[in-house]
Structure 1
Amino acid sequence: MGSHREFPDAGQLKAQLERLRDRKGDLNRAIGAAKKTGANTDELINKLKTVSSEIKELQKTLKKQLTVDEQPKAWFPGTPDVPSPILDNPVAGEVRIVDAFACREFLAAANAYVRAHPAGSIWHSTGTTRFIEATSGHQTRYLCALDENNRVIGVLPLVRMKSRLFGDFIVSVPYFNYGGVLANHRKAADLLANNAVSWRDETGAAHVELRHAFDIGFKFPKRTDKLTFWLPLPEAKEDLWNSFRPKVRAQIRRGEREADEVVFGGEELLSQFYQVFARNMRDLGTPVYGKEFFSNLLRELGSGASLVVVKKNGRPVGCAFIAGQGGRLEIPWASTIREENYTGINMLMYWRILEYAIQNKYQIFDFGRCSRGAGTSRFKRQWGASEIPLFWDYALPEGKNLPELNPDNPKFRLLIAIWKRMPVWMSRLIGPGIVKNLP
């Protein structure tokens, strides 16, 4: 078990030095008085030498301490606060629930509410739900809780996903890491969740899945096997760079030697982005979204989203999709060509994205979702990011078990193995029709 010494601060050292100086003065006066009377001064002189020696040592220590105090403190990311989706505002009057897609006068107020809510994300917006409906053809609702003055005090976007292959269920929201309830208080949150359950019963859907980054206390079964990583950002990129371990910095520098450039942009980069992304998804055994998916999402999010492409020898070898709102920038998708993983281009790409986040005044970088214990979690942790558990609530009919729509389900392993051997052109052709029904 280790131990450490605690040193007094400069103020304590100065006080101690002052006491020793007073003691030295007393001894000098005592020696002078003894000499006048002819008394023996040897003992007093020895004490004086001891005190003088202590003063010199203390002066050296104080000088060192003052030098340390003058040095700027190294920046450290610390642990980010995760805001609760349910606020503690007082309940006042009656609360009613409306579907903003049916009562369109509440759409603008709903989006303003999401932007102002501490736990609001870009995926809670009405535009994201509209994008899912337009791109994937799913039935949607956008529930708003209203107070007695018709002010929005809570929202819950809902998407019904129905297919022969994967079943019939409701998600808030699919494809992305966040959704679920945002509300001013528990009463509004409960009414929103109850309305989602009512829609489940009306449609005969198997369950409602609500995605949160906070355990808000719903009495529903939960999945907690997923997590994300958040990295608080400093004001200067140099502080972040200096916080990295030497190994991380060395990997970034190698990526700088290997890559031609890292480019940020919009739809003009989509073909290059998709070339890398589709190939990587095939290699992972995962159906790929269509190019139209990303094109539509970029248009919906506007300035809130960008594509990133890394080039080596003139060809794209790495890519990312980044999206931000408020103080948080997120990277929902990132890929590299597997044969280039050894070059450090992935490390370079993330470093350039972190620089971009700092330049654009984001306070948090969100590394995105992964499974607990996966290799990707080690990759994200090395940057200094903190683990953020995800809590996905499932409103199930009585007696039903949690769904198992994940790659670890044995019935999907053969399909994954087959997909990995499929030509990339075929995976692009077949994948979008499958993945649109996967949450």
Structure 2
Amino acid sequence: MTRQDCWDQFVETCEEATFFHRAGWRSVIESTTGHTPYYLYAEQNGQICGILPLVEVKSMLFGHSLVSTPFCVYGGVASISDAATTKLIDHAKTLAETLGVDYLELRHRQAKTAGWLTRHKHATFRRPLSNDEGNLQAMKRKQRAVIRQAINNEHTATIETDLDQFYHVYSTSVRNLGTPVFSRRFFQALQAAFKHDCEVVTIHHQGKPVSSLMSFYFRDEVLPYYGGGMPNSRSLKSMDFMYWDLMQRVTAKGFATFDFGRSKTDSGPYHYKRHWGFEPEPLCYEYHLVRATQLPDNSPNNPKYRYFIKLWQHLPLKLSQQLGPYLSKNLA
């Protein structure tokens, strides 16, 4: 068994581990962004008892950091013992200081590092699945009406292996939000790394793609992760149909948990997910400052990025697709 196989075997069984701890992220990030990974593990009696995936991110715009894990909602230490957790965090601090980064960032769901600086700007949204009627009843009444309207608008859902329609819809959506898109190669690498645990679904209306979604599967969970819609998807409620279609399909397959991902506290997506019957779970991102003197703020809500966001929203789509990957790889 290879070391990667041993790593992923541990991830499958460790309660603290998440989809974003899987070894495949190492190859995806390294091959498509050029960032340097440092995947640490602790062993006891020849068996892995703790892991900490780290990636060094160097950016002229956003600084020099060591993050677990960039582009991912969760990260940090996953272990089966306090001793392993302590050793991995101590090693990460030493590595951060050796590399001379500005800061070390661990994206934990719950705090693990006493005395570190923390940030609670995001919440994650997870809840158990029951059956179609139970899933509907868990939502607010207004959201149930929206889903019925979306169904009446006669959408169709198609599972795809080709990324053409997904990339067109997703890149259009994030351009309209003022966000640089990842490269097509990044999404191809995700498909190659996670195979049947990575699914792309495109929603059509009258034969035209209106929304599209890349989801991940992990143990008994589904994680709708990269999703977007065309401008008319809002009035058609296409993205509501997209998420409801996924929820129906995974419920029928016996999946137990729907992980709706993170959103910034009190933002539009934050309240949208609450309408679906999800309650926010604050995330605890923890920081060890090395060269930096204060916590980083690379959020799009930072006033200094407002002009850039407005400018990006008006770029031609093709140009945004060409320029986006050079910037998005640094938005860790």
TM-score range, shorter chain: over 0.9
TM-score, normalised via structure 2 length = 0.95
Task: Provide the residue aligned with 1:407 in structure 2.
Answer: 300
SS of the residue corresponding to residue 341 of structure 1 reads helix
Alignment of 1:45-194 (within 5 A): 105-147=2-44, 149-194=45-90
What is the SS of the residue equivalent to 2:39? strand
**Structure 1: how far apart are the matches of 2:219 and 2:144?**
29
CA distance 1:399–1:323, shift in 2 (3 Å): closer
Query: Do residues 250 (structure 1) and 127 (structure 2) align?
Result: no
Higher relative contact order (CA 8 A, sep 6+): 2
Distance in 2, matches of 1:395 and 1:245, equals: 40
Deviation at 1:245, TM superposition (A): 4.0
Distance 1:241 1:120 in 2: 29
- Per-residue deviation, 1:340: 2.7
1:237 paired with 2:132, answer: yes
Offset at 1:165?
1.8
Deviation at residue 304 of structure 1 after TM alignment: 0.8
Counterpart of 1:152, as a letter, is I
Following superposition, the deviation at residue 105 of structure 1 comes to 4.9
Q: Aligned residue for 1:272?
A: 165
Pairing 1:369–2:267 present: no
Going from structure 1 to structure 2, the CA distance change for 1:190 and 1:421 (only over 3 Å counts) comes to same
Match of residue 293 from structure 1: 186
Given that 2:224 and 2:260 are in contact with CA atoms closer than 8 Å, whether structure 1 keeps it comes out as yes
Aligned residue identity for 2:125: F
Figure out how many residues of one structure are paired with residues of the other and give that number: 332
Provide the C-alpha distance between the structure 1 equivalents of 2:292 and 2:135, rounded to a whole number of angstroms. Answer: 50
- Aligned: 1:346 with 2:239: yes
Is the partner of 1:205 in helix, strand or coil?
coil
Contact 2:210 2:232 survives alignment (8 Å): no
Cα shift at 1:247: 2.6
One-letter code aligned to 2:321: R
SS of equivalent residue, structure 1 residue 197: helix
On the 8 A contact 2:154/2:205 being kept in 1, the answer is yes
**Whole-angstrom distance in 1 between the partners of 2:52 and 2:320:** 34
Q: Equivalents in 1 of 2:140, 2:22: separation in Å? A: 38
- Whole-Å Cα distance in 2 between the matches of residues 226 and 245 of structure 1? 22
Q: 1:338 aligns to what SS in structure 2?
A: coil
Q: Given the alignment of the two structures, is residue 309 of structure 1 paired with residue 202 of structure 2, yes or no? A: yes
The CA distance in 1 between the partners of 2:256 and 2:112, in whole Å, is 24
Matched, 1:198 2:99: no
Alpha carbon RMSD of aligned pairs, Å? 1.6
Gaps of 5+ in 2: none
Output the CA distance in 2 between the equivalents of 1:136 and 1:200. Answer: 20
Given that residues 114 and 124 in structure 1 are in contact (C-alpha distance below 8 angstroms), is that contact kept between their aligned partners in structure 2? yes
Structure 1 counterpart of 2:46, which letter?
N
Equivalent pair of 1:306/1:321 in contact (CA under 8 Å):
yes
| C-alpha displacement of 1:154 | 0.2
Preserved CA contact (<8 Å) 1:153 1:188: yes
Q: Take 2:135 and 2:64, find their aligned partners in 1: how far apart are those partners? A: 45
After TM superposition, give the deviation of residue 342 of structure 1 in Å: 1.9
Alignment partners' CA distance in 1, 2:207 and 2:231:
17
Does the CA-based 8 Å contact 1:218-1:393 persist in structure 2? Answer: no
Larger helix proportion, structure 1 or 2?
1
Residue 220 (structure 1) aligned with residue 116 (structure 2): yes
CA distance 1:105–1:245, change in 2 (3 Å): closer
User: Which residue does the alignment assign to 2:105?
Assistant: 209
Contact in 2 for aligned 1:122/1:128 (Cα 8 Å): no
* Aligned 8 A contact 2:103 2:291 in 1: no
Q: Check the 8 A contact 1:288/1:427 in 2, yes or no.
A: yes
Structure 1 residues without counterparts, runs of 5 or longer: 1-103
Matched, 1:437 2:330: yes
**Partner of residue 331, structure 1:** 224
Is residue 169–residue 206 contact of structure 1 (8 Å, CA) maintained in 2? Answer: yes
Query: TM (normalized to structure 1)?
Result: 0.73
Cα distance between partner residues in 2 of 1:271 and 1:389: 35
In the alignment, the residues of structure 2 paired with residue 313 and residue 201 of structure 1 have an alpha-carbon distance, to the nearest angstrom, of 56
> Structure 1 residues 217 and 196 mapped into 2: Cα distance closer, same or farther (>3 Å)?
closer
Task: Provide the C-alpha distance between the structure 2 equivalents of 1:181 and 1:305, rounded to a whole number of angstroms.
Answer: 24
What CA distance in whole angstroms lies between the structure 2 residues aligned with 1:319 and 1:399? 39
| Identity in percent | 30
Distance of aligned partners of 1:352 and 1:419 in 2 relative to their CA distance in 1, 3 Å threshold: same
